[in-house]
Structure 1
């Protein structure tokens, strides 16, 4: 996956930010924080994870689906993405 190697620093920054959000959520739960604040933190972490997913997916589409050499390869990659999206939507 050349796109993840090329964008490694940016992707790791996103992952570390998500880790910080999850750690803050854990601390808030340990401290028995306000449920409204917890819901906001959960939504923020989910949004950050979704943004990471979309960034990696966009790179995958542009480098592995669009540029596939054959129609069979494109169909295989598209099928794999459909499987992924089905799991992600659960």
Structure 2
């Protein structure tokens, strides 16, 4: 079971809102929106995606990683490595 299973509806609402932001960006570009306005909206969309990513990471650490650590063994090491790699990807983005 995923760590965000209790928040699934909330996460989906946020992603749908971001999807709407991206469609708005497409309209702005299609209609020749001012460059700075487009960039401002791209920044807002990026921050919204980062917020969802951090929420999912927090859920993953609090559920999946915590459960694996409680069980111990190689799965705990694998989950910690997996989480560290996900954090590194987020920082590179």
- The two structures have a TM-score, normalised by structure 2, of 0.87
Query: Deviation of residue 8 (structure 1)?
Result: 1.0
Aligned equivalents of 1:5, 1:76: Cα separation in 2: 21
The corresponding residue for 1:28 is 28
Aligned equivalents of 1:45, 1:20: Cα separation in 2: 10
- 1:5-49 alpha-carbon deviations (Å, 9 max, x no partner): 211110011000100110000000001100110111000000000
Aligned equivalents of 2:74, 2:6: Cα separation in 1: 26
Give the gaps of 5 or more residues in structure 1: none
Which of 78, 81, 86 is matched with 1:79 structurally?
81
Give the gaps of 5 or more residues in structure 2: none
Query: Deviation of residue 71 (structure 1)?
Result: 4.5
Aligned equivalents of 1:85, 1:3: Cα separation in 2: 16
Which is worse superposed, 40-49 or 2-11? Answer: 2-11
- 1:39-82 alpha-carbon deviations (Å, 9 max, x no partner): 11000000000000000110000001123210432211111122
SS in structure 1 at match of 2:67: coil
